[in-house]
Structure 1
Amino acid sequence: MKKMMRKTGFGGALLIILASALLAGCGKEADDRENYRKIVDDYAVFTLEQDGDSAAYDRALEAVGSYLENDSGDSLENARKVVSDTLEQMESDADKAVSYELSEELAAVLAEYGVDQEEYAINANMRAAYLSDYIESLKTLRYYLEPESKAERDLLRDDLEFLYGFQRDSQTSEKGFYYYSINYWFAGWDGDQKAYVEEKVIKNLKSYEAENPVWEDSRDAVEQKMNLYLDQMEELQYRLEEHIGRSQEDLYQMELPSE
């Protein structure tokens, strides 16, 4: 009986060890299956920061648009304040921006899910470039809003209206492009994985958006939509260059000596 008890005890201990190993293995498999959360959590941090910058730029453009629709002292002062405050904040954020560094742990997870590590890191580091573009646009808007003389502002109004329209339309195209860039990274994900992207990223967006958005399941389909936005931005850039050319020609004609 004692031997049997010892044997039974040993067998019980062995079963416990085997069961523990089995549970540990299941836990590791569960952890591996949920590694996608590490990607999404990391991606959400820098993407929502970039989206927040875009939302701040939206508000500045909205203030300028309100001034152009209702040329009053209050709307002018509000536009000046919002543009200046946004510019100051973005310059501060740009000065404090730190370079993104991909951890070895996340790099391994990205490889597991077939995500290009270099491309991912470049995307994570784009905030500084986006801020630089916003800052230059805001400086230009501030220049056209600064004159105290109404006569001088009236002289610049046509250019301000064109510039505002250009920046507004460019921002609309860029927001659509950036929305689908999120889709690009997670195309092909479904079920719990897709739901987690929606919970952590999509539902928290304040600016990035597309008209009648449809989540695509393949990167090829996503790239087609992104290319449409790139075409729009290229067309807008062409319009800007045309406007600058006409303005330079008008200035040249004004400087010609009258006969």
Structure 2
Amino acid sequence: MRRMWIFAALAALLLSGCGAKTQASEPWEELGVSEAAWTVIEDFSGRYSALDADGLRYDEALEAVQSYLDGGLGQAEALGALNSALEAVEAELEAAEPVSLDAGLEEALRELGISPTEYEAFANSRPNDLQNQQLRLSSLLFYLENAGRGEAALEDLRFTLAANASEQESLRGYFYYGCLNYWFTGLDEAELELLRSSLIDGLESYIPEQALWFTDRDMAEEQTMLCLDEVEALAGLMSERLGSQQDELYEMEHDYDRLLELIEEDRQARERLAALMELSARLEELSAQIDEASEAGDAERLEELRAQFEALVAEYEALTAEETP
């Protein structure tokens, strides 16, 4: 987190115990800003800088996948970049703790016309943003691992990367206009310069390429909603794509089940055919025995052979009945 010498100077004052009344002016006085503005900008800069660092890490992971698709990185290197980013996100999530505003910060926020409730919600929103990145990185990791399985798998990776990169572009505007610009539209020239030097000038991810600065909250909010609409549209597109893939998967599963049924039907047909061939051989043998018994005039043997013949007929009828639908 980037810190100005003014923040370090204040920390040194507090730690030294020389808080006795002196002639030295306070840091905000030297900068020509109000104590409230100085307090809020210091707190906000730290929180937004952490978001920006998260965004930059995610940007670099997306760039690694794009480099793989462009032929600049091997699959193993790109996978390493994704895994590294994913591990960092998971570590940040594990270390995240709930934020509660102290009374001094709440008072300063009110002086600047910022809702403490909204600000606290922002301060506690980072884990949600990290979870979104975790989900996106996990999906990319899956598609990248399977990218070598054919053109369809490679196309899934291209689509997912393009959708995630577009979403990230919209999020730059959402965070910049919806948090940074929206809350600080009322700053005077000196306060805005403090915000620029302590935060804006050092941003590397969550700032649009052609960033504007609105001095009217309604205009900043309108720009925020445009960015949010883009994010929602992309989410809908990704859901639609996922739904289509689920339908294809269901079809594949259905076809696979049907294939198993056909294999089983074929197995049963082969078993019936083998049984019929065995019956045929037994009938031929029985026919020869009947001829011999008839020539010999052996009535008792003929009766025995007739019983065997009837049993074979019943067996044949049972086998052929199984083939009837």
What is the TM-score when the length of structure 2 is the normalising length? Answer: 0.66
Correspondences of 1:1-259 after superposition (within 5 Å): 30=29, 33-70=34-71, 74-147=73-146, 150=148, 152=149, 154-181=151-178, 182-254=180-252, 255-256=254-255, 257=258
- What is the CA distance between 1:102 and its match in structure 2? 0.8
Deviation at 1:245, TM superposition (A): 2.4
Structure 2 counterpart of 1:160, which letter?
Answer: L
For 1:16, the equivalent position in structure 2 comes to none
Q: How many residues matched?
A: 232
Contact 1:145/1:153 (CA < 8 Å) preserved in 2? no
Identical counterparts, % of pairs: 30
Q: What amino acid is the match of 1:67?
A: Y
- Superposition RMSD on alpha carbons, in Å? 2.5
3-state SS, counterpart of residue 35 of structure 1? helix
Alpha-carbon distance in 1 for matches of 2:157, 2:76? 16
**1:144, CA displacement in angstroms?**
1.7
Deviates more, 1:41-50 or 1:232-241: 232-241
Extract structure 1 runs of 4+ deviating beyond 6 A: none
| Cα deviation, residue 153, structure 1 | 5.7
1:218, CA displacement in angstroms?
0.8
Contact 1:187–1:218 under 8 Å retained in 2 = yes
Q: Tell me which amino acid in the other structure corresponds to 1:59.
A: E
Residues 32/77 of structure 1: CA separation in 2 closer, same or farther (3 Å cut): closer
Q: What TM-score results when the alignment is normalised by the length of structure 1?
A: 0.82
Larger RCO, structures 1/2 (Cα 8 Å, 6+ apart): 1
Q: Is the 8 A contact 2:36 2:112 kept in 1?
A: no
Deviation at residue 47 of structure 1 after TM alignment: 0.7
Distance 1:77 1:169 in 2: 25
Q: In the alignment, is the contact (CA less than 8 A) between 2:36 and 2:109 conserved in 1?
A: no
Structure 1: unaligned runs, 5 residues or longer: 1-22
Structure 2: runs of 5+ lacking an equivalent: 1-21, 263-325
> What SS does the aligned partner of 2:64 have?
helix
Whose radius of gyration is greater, 1 or 2? 2
